[in-house]
Amino acid sequence: TSEQPADRPVPVRLREALAKVPAYSPGRPPAPVEGMTAYKISSNENPFPPLPSVVRAVADAAATMNRYPDMGVVALTQALAEHLGVPAGHLATGTGSVAVLAQLVQITCEPGDEVVYAWRSFEAYPIVVALSGATSVQVPLTADARHDLDAMAEAVTDRTRLVLVCTPNNPTGPAVTGDELRAFVAKVPRDVVVVIDEAYLEFTTEESVPDALAFYREHPNVVVLRTFSKAYGLAGLRVGYAVAQEEVATALRKAATPFGVTDLAQQAAIASLAARDELMVRVEQLVAERERVHAALVEQGWDVPAAQGNFVWLPLGEDAVPFAQACQARALTVRPFAGEGVRCSIGETEANDRLLGIAGEWLHSRE
41 makes contact with ligand PMP (CB under 6 A): no
Shortest distance (Å) from residue 149 CB to ligand PMP:
17
CA distance 270 to 337: 35
Shortest distance (Å) from residue 35 CB to ligand PMP:
31
Q: What are phi and psi of 105, to 5 degrees?
A: -65, -45
Q: Which one of 126, 174, 240, 336 is in contact with ligand PMP (CB under 6 A)?
A: 240
Q: What are phi and psi of 59, to 5 degrees?
A: -65, -40
**How big is the site for ligand PMP, counted in residues (CB under 6 A)?**
13
Range 317-336, binding ligand PMP (CB under 6 A): none
CA distance 119 to 147: 8
Which of 39, 122 has the CB closer to ligand PMP?
A: 122
The closest residue (CB) to ligand PMP is: 96
Which of 296, 305 has the CB closer to ligand PMP?
A: 305
Q: Can you list the pairs that 51-59 forms with residues at least 24 positions away whose Cβ atoms lie under 8 Å?
A: 51/271, 51/272, 51/275, 51/278, 51/279, 53/271, 53/274, 53/275, 54/234, 54/268, 54/271, 54/272, 54/275, 56/271, 57/267, 57/268, 57/270, 57/271, 58/237, 58/264, 58/267, 58/268, 58/271
Which of 41, 296 has the CB closer to ligand PMP?
A: 41
Shortest distance (Å) from residue 363 CB to ligand PMP:
27
Range 210-229, binding ligand PMP (CB under 6 A): 227, 229
The answer to whether 242 touches 92, Cβ cutoff 8 Å, is yes
The site map against ligand PMP for 254-293 (x = CB under 6 A) is: ----------------------------------------
Q: Which one of 77, 170, 177, 308 is in contact with ligand PMP (CB under 6 A)?
A: 170
| Nearest to 115, CA basis, from 99, 103, 96, 128 | 128
The answer to whether 188 touches 321, Cβ cutoff 8 Å, is no
Shortest distance (Å) from residue 103 CB to ligand PMP:
12
Shortest distance (Å) from residue 223 CB to ligand PMP:
13
197 makes contact with ligand PMP (CB under 6 A): yes
235 makes contact with ligand PMP (CB under 6 A): yes
Q: Which one of 42, 44, 103, 177 is in contact with ligand PMP (CB under 6 A)?
A: 44
Which of 104, 199 has the CB closer to ligand PMP?
A: 199
Shortest distance (Å) from residue 167 CB to ligand PMP:
9
Q: Which one of 199, 213, 223, 252 is in contact with ligand PMP (CB under 6 A)?
A: 199
Q: Which one of 47, 69, 93, 122 is in contact with ligand PMP (CB under 6 A)?
A: 122
Range 48-107, binding ligand PMP (CB under 6 A): 96-98
Shortest distance (Å) from residue 240 CB to ligand PMP:
4
Which residues of this protein are in contact with ligand PMP, per CB under 6 A? 44, 96-98, 122, 166, 170, 197, 199, 227, 229, 235, 240
